[in-house]
């Protein structure tokens, strides 16, 4: 690249405390990416207050306010489009997004999941892993498709926790991995460094990109 690229306009969807949002704010906001919107399905989500403190536009899209999930998704997608969003990051967003939403942002919706996918998809991933008795836990950042945590993997990292017994101790070990991998994935997308392997579209390739 011969000149510095404009930051990638990003929206973050979160249902809870927003620790991954905070990691993005600390690591990429105002650099490779610009977080222009934060939305939640919960009006009391602490993530919204984190965004307000930074002067970021916030929105609440409670499912109960809409006729159905499709109507909610359509309103959310339109709101994000009007704000110029080009990447949607799910950071602890506890709602599914339908295909019409994903079609508005093709290959531009990513999620962070507290397990090494394809193992333990869906809700309560850590509890699933503990019940199975695994010794290695991990974090996955992946593209979102119409399935439940079935989209192509962007980044993964594992950690050995052979003595783990509780959700709290596993989550405490995984949080730093989430806070590292999610900003790393956003940087790669902002730089145009990700592509699909022609021989296997599920495989995401990372290539070196010259920076200004």
Residue ranges per structural domain of the chain: 8-206
* Residue found by looking up tokens 């306010």 in the block: 65
Containing 91, the helix (H) or strand (E) segment is none
Kindly report the pTM of this predicted structure. 0.94
Position of tokens 């531009």? 108
- Distance between CA atoms of 140 and 142, rounded to whole angstroms? 6
Yes or no: say if 113 and 121 are a contact pair by the CB < 8 Å rule.
yes
Give 163-199 pLDDT, tens digit per residue: 999 999 999 999 999 999 999 999 999 999 999 999 9
Non-local CB neighbours of 120 within 8 Å, separated by 6+ positions:
126, 128, 129, 132
For residue 140, which of 127, 131, 149 has the smallest C-alpha distance?
A: 149
Whether 1 shows a pLDDT value over 70: the answer reads: no
* Catalytic residue flag (residue 29): no
pLDDT (0 to 100) of residue 4: 57
Res 5: pLDDT? 77
Output the pLDDT for position 158: 98
pLDDT above 70 for 97: yes
pLDDT of residue 43: 97
Which CATH class name applies to 8-206?
alpha beta
The one-character DSSP state at 64 is G
Q: Which of 29, 113, 142, 179 is catalytic?
A: 113
């Amino acid at each position: 690249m011969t000149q510095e690229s404009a930051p990638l306009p990003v929206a973050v969807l979160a249902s809870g405390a927003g620790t991954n949002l905070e990691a993005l704010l600390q690591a990429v906001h105002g650099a490779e990416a610009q977080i222009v919107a934060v939305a939640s399905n919960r009006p009391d989500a602490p993530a919204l207050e984190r965004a307000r403190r930074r002067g970021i536009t916030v929105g609440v899209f409670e499912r109960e306010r809409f006729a159905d999930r499709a109507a909610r998704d359509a309103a959310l997608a339109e709101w994000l489009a009007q704000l110029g969003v080009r990447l949607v990051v799910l950071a602890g967003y506890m709602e599914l997004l339908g295909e019409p939403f994903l079609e508005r942002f093709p290959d531009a919706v990513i999620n962070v999941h507290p397990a090494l996918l394809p193992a333990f998809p869906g809700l309560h991933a850590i509890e699933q892993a503990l019940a199975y008795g695994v010794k290695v836990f991990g974090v996955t950042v992946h593209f979102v498709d119409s399935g439940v945590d079935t989209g192509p993997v962007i980044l993964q990292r594992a950690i050995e926790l052979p003595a783990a017994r509780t959700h709290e101790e596993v989550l405490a070990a995984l949080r730093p991995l989430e806070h590292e991998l999610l900003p790393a994935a956003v940087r790669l997308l902002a730089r145009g460094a990700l592509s699909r392997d022609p021989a296997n579209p599920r495989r995401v390739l990372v290539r070196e990109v010259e920076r200004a």
